[in-house]
Amino acid sequence: MLMNNFEFYSPTDFVFGKNTEEQTGLLVKRFGGKRLLVVYGQGHAVKSGLMDRVEKALKEAELYYVLLGGIQPNPTDEEVYKGIDLGRQHNVDMILAVGGGSAIDAAKAMAAGIPDNGDFWDFYEGTRTVESALPVGVVLTIPAAGSEGSGNSVITQVASNKKISLRTPRALRPKFSILNPELTYSLPPYQTSAGAVDMMAHIMERYFTNTEHTELTDRLSESILKTIIEVTPQVLDRPEDYDARATLMWCGTLAHTGLCGTGNVEDWSSHALEHELSAFYGVTHGAGLAVIFPAWLTFMVEHNPKKVIKWAHCVWDVNPSGNDKEDALEGISRFKKFLHRIGMPTTIKELGIDNYDIDMLNEHLHVIKGEKVGNYVPLDHKMSKEIYEIAQHE
């Protein structure tokens, strides 16, 4: 399989550096916003004083805005409906997300739903396509999901426990994203580490492909992965190291713009497997990925080892021994040691899940994704169940 034709579209205006949140009002006006719905999370943006600075910038720009706070991790359709109703009541023409991936994902769903005559959930179920939406702006506080640079959004439907990713390469990409690394200084270590794993997973979902002759794309991916591996411990050891924080923040954005997947047939089965964990057990997405991805890799050593071997050699610096399987397993071992070094779990037990129901998770996975999941090795019911089983063990 040769490198695919592709279209790379990444129009977001990234405004990076210290005090850049002070430009919020000017950026909103640059992209035509006059009446804003400001969506933010469960307290960090307020406690840190960021919301005060954002509101000051909006007032100085003489913009009308209404606030919607308290967006939870793994945002739900109920929160989106609330935002849609509020946005319509105030006749907003732009959504501003202040926070991490959850606030941004919810804001994108609201941006699609407010001008639409139907149910926004149709877009996530795949029965309709987002053709147009309100513009979205971002002030990022948590480098992790990469939602500040993508058209993707993940929402959980409360009634069904369906956690579904929507991909809209054009309509829902943010018009601008403000990235000030200083805003991440006060993040708890666990949240910082979970974010780093999320970044790595976004790259690896693209890196693990059967597409041949994507050397440049592979090397871009390997470089960002190695940088995350290098700087994450630095950030944890020195939380106010601006340079390390800046590097990690930019890694998170580059991981999810689509750049690392150019020319590849991407996989995304590990994300699908993890979405069931976070939907049913409420685990932090990055922590869930820290458990699922090593299990997925271990499975792939027996079923499609080629790219796992390359990943071990090029990302984890495993010296080729002449035994490819041993090299691949050594790469996985080094990955798990890194995860433990940054305080992440690698097993279901370490996630704290006591009522782990593999059959329920696996059945629900295939209800949402169909008979086969992913592309690197399309996973049937038996295969995906085996990965969930591997995730239980050291």
pLDDT in tens, 295-353: 999 999 999 999 999 999 999 999 999 999 999 999 999 999 999 999 999 999 999 99
CATH superfamily of 189-393: Dehydroquinate synthase-like - alpha domain (1.20.1090.10)
pLDDT given at position 394: 67
Domains 13-184 and 189-393 share a fold: no
In the chain, where are the structural domains located?
Answer: 13-184, 189-393
- In the predicted structure, residue 239 carries a pLDDT above the cut 90: yes
Contact 75, 91 (CB under 8 A): no
d(CA 137, CA 54): 12
Q: State the pTM of this model.
A: 0.94
Decide: 144 and 250 in contact? Cβ < 8 Å: no
Name the least confident of 46-50, 141-145, 152-156, 298-302. Answer: 46-50
What pLDDT does 42 receive? 79
Q: Whole-angstrom Cα distance, residue 353 to residue 151? A: 32
Report how far residue 71's alpha carbon sits from residue 123's, in angstroms, rounded to the nearest whole number: 20
Give Dmax (Cα) for the chain: 66
User: Mind listing the pLDDT tens digit for each residue in 247-285?
Assistant: 999 999 999 999 999 999 999 999 999 999 999 999 999
The topology under which CATH files domain 13-184 is Rossmann fold (3.40.50)
pLDDT at 1: 64
Q: For the segment 59-80, what is each residue's pLDDT rounded down to a tens digit? A: 999 999 999 999 998 899 999 9
| Closest to 136 measured CA to CA, from 84, 177, 77 | 177
Q: Give yes or no for residue 291 having a pLDDT over 80.
A: yes
Q: Which amino acid does the sequence have at 278? A: S
